[in-house]
Chains A and B, each alone.
Chain A
Amino acid sequence: GAVVSQHPSRVICKSGTSVKIECRSLDFQATTMFWYRQFPKQSLMLMATSNEGSKATYEQGVEKDKFLINHASLTLSTLTVTSAHPEDSSFYICSARDPRRGYGYTFGSGTRLTVV
């Protein structure tokens, strides 16, 4: 149980285009999901907290107009990287907590974004 599916696992896009990454909780409902970004050989940096039915809460320094987050249902949150640039290339990971299982979050398998 407590499976989080992230799609796509890898994506290559051209500069200036937009890319959407999906995060789904497969067997539970998640009112809150988190989006992280990880640069090579570095830690996970929290980008934003995605709340179902309301606006996401962004961490300081994260451009909310560039990284659009939509949490339209209790099982799906999406992160859209708009007008992508090479510096947006990174590993993006989502996580969600299954409220039935107490504490601890389940993470998706991540999305490797490469902007060329």
Chain B
Amino acid sequence: AQSVTQLGSHVSVSEGALVLLRCNYSSSVPPYLFWYVQYPNQGLQLLLKYTTGATLVKGINGFEAEFKKSETSFHLTKPSAHMSDAAEYFCAVSGGRDDKIIFGKGTRLHILP
């Protein structure tokens, strides 16, 4: 079984500052890991995903995440926050290519001017 824990339901950063959203996972099999972003009353947009291979994954809008097996983590980062980054971010895990995706509880990112 898979599960995801996102640390911090709300994170506030200043515009231009580093964004760090934390995610730890639990999986009985090699995980596939995802970060999604959701804007109000909208569906989900995939930011990036890790399946196999390189542990540092680059995504859209300047985001990246690093898979650390020893720490069971998949934290999301962005060097410089932009106002448009304000949204809800979900970390998710899957047990395989055709497996269902399980979501964390989400982190609301606030960008301070």
Chain A residues in the interface with B (C-beta under 8 A) = 6, 32, 34, 36, 42-46, 49, 91, 93, 95, 97, 102-110, 112
Contact = CB atoms under 8 A, between A and B. Distances in A.
Contacts of B83: none
Nearest to B108: A41
Nearest to B45: A107
Contacts of A106: 46
B43 interface: yes
Contacts, number: 52
Contact of A43 (B49, B90, B97, B100): B90
Interface of A is mostly: strand
Given A43-B106, A103-B32, A104-B34, A95 B42 contact: no
Given A43-B90, A44-B90, A107 B102 contact: no
4 A-B pairs with the lowest CB-CB distances in the bound complex, closest first: A107-B44, A109-B43, A107-B43, A43-B105
Given A104-B34, A104-B46, A107-B44, A42 B100 contact: no
Nearest to A45: B103
Given A108-B43, A109-B42, A95 B103 contact: no
B101 A43 contact: no
A112 B44 contact: no
